Amino acid sequence: METIPEGLDGERVREVLQRLGLCAPDEPLAFEPLAGGVSSDIVRVDLPGRSLCVKRALARLKVAADWRVPVGRSAHEAEWLRVAGEIVPDAVPRLLGYDPVLGALAMAWLDPERHPVWKGLLHQGHCEPGFAAAVAQHIVAIHARTAGDPGIAARFDTGPLFHALRLEPYLLATAERHPSLADRLRTIARTTAATRLALVHGDASPKNILAGPGGPVLLDAECAWYGDPAFDAAFCLNHLLLKCLWTPAAAGALLACFDAFAASYLAGVRWESSARLAARVGALLPALLLARVDGKSPVEYLVDERDRAFVRRVASALLVDPPATPAAIADAWRGALATR
C-alpha cells in the first residue's frame, strides 16, 4: 500500500538523491518541474556542475479523474531503463538509480535544445523516414534480445498493470462504446494478454521519444511488460496514422515514416515468423486507432468531429476485415485519406 503522499518537492528530491549517493548533504540543489507528464511528477534537478532528472509515478493520471492506476510503476520504468540500457545504450537516458523508499528514479538529464520531442517535430512537418526506421530498430532490438528470456519474463511479470494501463482503458473501454465490435476488441485484448514473448515498452508514442544528436531516445517505460511485442509496433504506427489528421500537409511524409518503421521493425523480428507478428499488428492497430478516439485516453488533437468520424469509419472496417500486414493498413489509410 502507498502511504507516502504524492508529489516531489525539494525535500523529497534531496532525500532521493542523497539516498542514491547522487548528492552530498550540503550541496545546493535547485529543481524545476517539467511540463508534459500526465502520469508522473518529473523534475529537472540542478546541482553544482551537473543536472539530472527525477521521476515519480502518480496514483491518479492527470488526464482523467477516474483513471487510477497502481503506483510503483517507476520501479518497472527503472528496471526497463537498466535492461534497455544494456541493449541500446545510446537510445535511452542513463539510469542513475532507483529509490524504492519514495518510488522515484533518477536518470541523466537530456538537454531539450538538443533532444526535441519527436511528436513536436512530426507536427512541424519534420518527418524523416530514416529516424522512424531507427526508432523501430531500437524497439525491435530490445524485443529480440529479451525474447524467450525467463529472467526478464520474471522481472516484468506486470500483466495486471498492463491490463489496467493499456488493455482496459484502450481496448475494453472502446468495446463498451462499440457493441457491434465488442467481441472483436475483447478477443484482441485477450490474445494480447496471453502473448508473452518479449519485453514490451508499452508506451512507444512519439511524445515519449526524443530526437537526440545520436538518434532516437526512448523514454517513459512505466507500462513495461513481458508480453506481446506487436503492441509496441502497433502503438507507434498508430500515432503516425493519427498524426496525418493533425498535420494534413505532412500526411505523405508521415506515411513514409510509417512504411519505414514497419519495414525496419519486421526486418528485425527473429523470435517468431514476421508474418505472424505482422498479423497481430494488423489486428491491434485498428483497435488502437479506434481507442484513441473512443477509449479512455483520446488523443487531444482530434477535436474536429469529422476527423473522429473518419477514424471510426476506417478503423471499424479494418477491425471487421483485419489486414495481414501493417503495409495493408497504410494502403487503406492512404486510400481513405485520398477520397475523404
Ligand X SMILES: Nc1ncnc2c1ncn2[C@@H]1O[C@H](COP(=O)(O)OP(=O)(O)O)[C@@H](O)[C@H]1O
Q: Which residues bind ligand X (CB under 6 A)?
A: 34, 36-40, 42, 53, 55, 93, 107-110, 117, 208, 219-220, 222
Report in angstroms how near the CB of residue 333 gets to ligand X at its nearest: 26
Q: What backbone torsions phi and psi does residue 44 show, to the nearest 5 degrees?
A: -95, 135
> How many Å apart are CA 12 and CA 104, to the nearest integer?
10
Task: List the grid coordinates of 330.
Answer: 497504410
- Looking at the Cβ atoms of 116 and 159, the one nearer to ligand X is 116
CA distances in angstroms from 26 to 23, 75, 101, 220, 316, listed in the order given: 8, 28, 21, 31, 60
Nearer to Mg ion, 158 or 208 (CB): 208
Least Å distance, CB 207 to Mg ion, is: 6
Q: How far apart are CA 147 and CA 36, in angstroms?
A: 32
Instruction: Please report whether residue 74 would count as binding Mg ion according to CB under 5 A.
Output: no
Residue 42 or 167 with smaller CB distance to Mg ion: 42
Q: Closer to Mg ion at the Cβ: 208 or 264?
A: 208
Minimum distance, C-beta of residue 171 to ligand X, in the bound complex (Å): 21
* Residue 40 binding result from ligand X, Mg ion, none, given CB thresholds of 5 to 8 Å by partner type: ligand X
Nearest-5° angle of CA 109, CA 205, CA 315? Answer: 170
What's the closest the beta carbon of residue 36 comes to ligand X, in angstroms? 4
Q: Which does 110 bind (CB under 5 to 8 A by kind): Mg ion, ligand X, none?
A: ligand X
| Identity of the amino acid at 291 | A
Q: Whose Cβ is closer to Mg ion: residue 209's or residue 284's?
A: 209
Q: Write down the least CB distance from residue 63 to ligand X, Å.
A: 10
Which residues between 212 and 271 bind Mg ion (CB under 5 A)? 220
Nearest residue by C-beta to ligand X?
A: 37
How far apart (Å, rounded) are the C-alpha atoms in residues 144 and 148?
Answer: 9
Closer by beta carbon to ligand X, 79 or else 307:
79
Segment holding 250, helix H or strand E? none
Bridge partners of residue 198, in order along the sequence: 227
Q: How far is the CB of 23 from Mg ion (least distance, A)?
A: 25
Which of Mg ion, ligand X, none does residue 99 bind to, with CB < 5 to 8 Å depending on kind? none
Among 74, 137, 174, 208, binds Mg ion (CB under 5 A): 208
Using CB atoms, what's the residue nearest to Mg ion? 220
DSSP 101: T
Structural contact between residues 274 and 147, judged by C-beta atoms closer than 8 angstroms:
no
Q: How far is CA 223 from CA 49, 116, 160, 309, in A?
A: 33, 22, 10, 29
Q: Which is nearer to ligand X, 73 or 280 (CB)?
A: 73
Q: Estimate the crossing angle of helix 230-246 against helix 274-294, to 10 degrees.
A: 50
> Least Å distance between CB 113 and Mg ion?
19
Residue 109: name its binding partner from Mg ion, ligand X, none (Cβ under 5 to 8 Å by kind): ligand X
Question: Are 72 and 56 within 8 A, CB to CB?
Answer: no
Distances (CA, A) of 276 to 270, 271, 340: 11, 11, 32
- Residue count, binding to Mg ion (CB under 5 A): 2
Containing 292, the helix (H) or strand (E) segment is: helix 274-294
Which residues of this chain interact with Mg ion, rule CB under 5 A?
208, 220
